[in-house]
Amino acid sequence: MKSFAEIAAEIARESGAVISEFARRRIGFELKGAHDLVTEADRASEQLIVERLHQQFPTHAIVAEEGGGNDGSSEYCWYVDPLDGTTNFAHGFPVYNVSLGLERSGEIVAGVIYDPTRDEMFQAELGSGAFLNGEPIHVTPTARIDDSLSATGFPSRKRHQNINVHFYYQLAMMSHGVRRAGAAALDLAYVACGRLDFFWEFALKPWDVAAGSLLVREAGGRCTDMLGAPLNLRGAHILADNTALHGDVLELFGEIFAGRQRVPLPQ
C-alpha cells in the first residue's frame, strides 16, 4: 500500500505538469488585492489536487487556498497550496511550487513540496525522515548567524503594516545574506535540505507552512514561532531553522521585537 506522502507526491507531480503547461503559454493574472495575484494556473492546479485527494481519501477534509476545499468526517485534513509563488509564476520568474500537507488530529503527519521548474520532489512522513527525489536530506550544521544564509518573505496583503523590514535589515547586515525568493514553502524545503540555514516570515497561512514545517523537523531542524512558542499553523509568524541556530536567532528576534537594533541604521 502506498503511503500518504507517496500518493500526495503523485498528485503534486501531476499538478506541477499542469502548472508547467500554463507557464509555457505565459498566461495573465488577476488581482485579489492591490498586490495579491491569482492566475488560471492556481485554479486549475487546485481543482486537480482537490479532485484527486477526494477520490483517494473521500472522508478527509481539504483546506485549499483558492477556496475549492471541502469538509470531511475523519480526523485528517489536507492543507493545499496549489501554486505557491504566484507572483513569481505570473512574471515568469521560475521559483514556485505545489505544497500539500496532511494533518491528523492537530499534528502534521505527511508533506510534499514539488518544484516543477527543477523537477524536485521534497517529501516527508512523521518519524520517517525527509527526502529530496528519494535521497535523505538534512539541515545544515551552521552554528553562527554571521556564517548563515537565510530567507524571508513579505505578505501580499497589508504589506504596509508589516514590520519585517526591520528583521530583514538586521540579518542582511550581519550574515552572508537574506534571500527573498517569493515562495515560502520552497524556502522551508530549502532549510530542510541545507540550502538555507533558517527562514522566518510573518502572516503566512496553513497551506504555506504545513508541509514545509514537517520537512524541516524530519530533516533535523526546528519550527516554532519567532518568539520560540510552538508553531501554530494559523499563528502570526514562523521561524524554521537548523536547530543549531535556534537560540541565537530567537535572542536576536527578541531584541528586534523590543525595538533594539544591533546594527544601527545608516545615517
**What's the min distance (Å) between Cβ of 42 and Ca ion?**
6
Residue 208 in the binding site for ligand IPD (CB under 6 A):
yes
- CA distances to 31, 133, 135, 228, 255 from 224, rounded to whole Å, are 32, 26, 26, 5, 17
The item of ligand IPD, Ca ion, none sharing an interface with residue 47, based on CB under 5 to 8 Å by kind, is none
Looking at the Cβ atoms of 81 and 115, the one nearer to Ca ion is: 81
Query: Cα(174)–Cα(73) distance, rounded to whole angstroms?
Result: 49
Looking at the Cβ atoms of 9 and 188, the one nearer to ligand IPD is: 188
Tell me which residue of 46, 104, 114, 37 sits closest to 80, measured CA to CA.
46
Looking at the Cβ atoms of 98 and 256, the one nearer to Ca ion is: 98
243 in helix, strand or coil? Answer: coil
Q: Which residue type sits at 176?
A: H
Residue 46 in the binding site for Ca ion (CB under 5 A):
no
* DSSP H or E stretch at residue 155: none
Partner residues linked to 110 by β-bridges = 102, 125
Taking CB atoms, the residue at the shortest distance from Ca ion is: 84
Among 72, 129, 155, 228, binds ligand IPD (CB under 6 A): 155
**What's the min distance (Å) between Cβ of 183 and Ca ion?**
7
Residue 7 in the binding site for ligand IPD (CB under 6 A):
no
Query: Cα(48)–Cα(50) distance, rounded to whole angstroms?
Result: 6
Residue 115 in the binding site for ligand IPD (CB under 6 A):
no
The item of Ca ion, ligand IPD, none sharing an interface with residue 155, based on CB under 5 to 8 Å by kind, is ligand IPD
Residue 242 in the binding site for ligand IPD (CB under 6 A):
no
Residue 208 in the binding site for Ca ion (CB under 5 A):
yes
Any residues with CB less than 8 A from the CB of 160 and at least 6 apart, and which? none
Among 183, 191, 233, 245, binds ligand IPD (CB under 6 A): 183
Any residues with CB less than 8 A from the CB of 247 and at least 6 apart, and which? none
Query: Cα(161)–Cα(240) distance, rounded to whole angstroms?
Result: 23
Query: Cα(127)–Cα(124) distance, rounded to whole angstroms?
Result: 9
Binding mask 154-193 for Ca ion (x = CB under 5 A): ----------------------------------------
Binding site residues, ligand IPD, CB under 6 A: 81, 84-87, 153-156, 182-184, 201, 204, 208
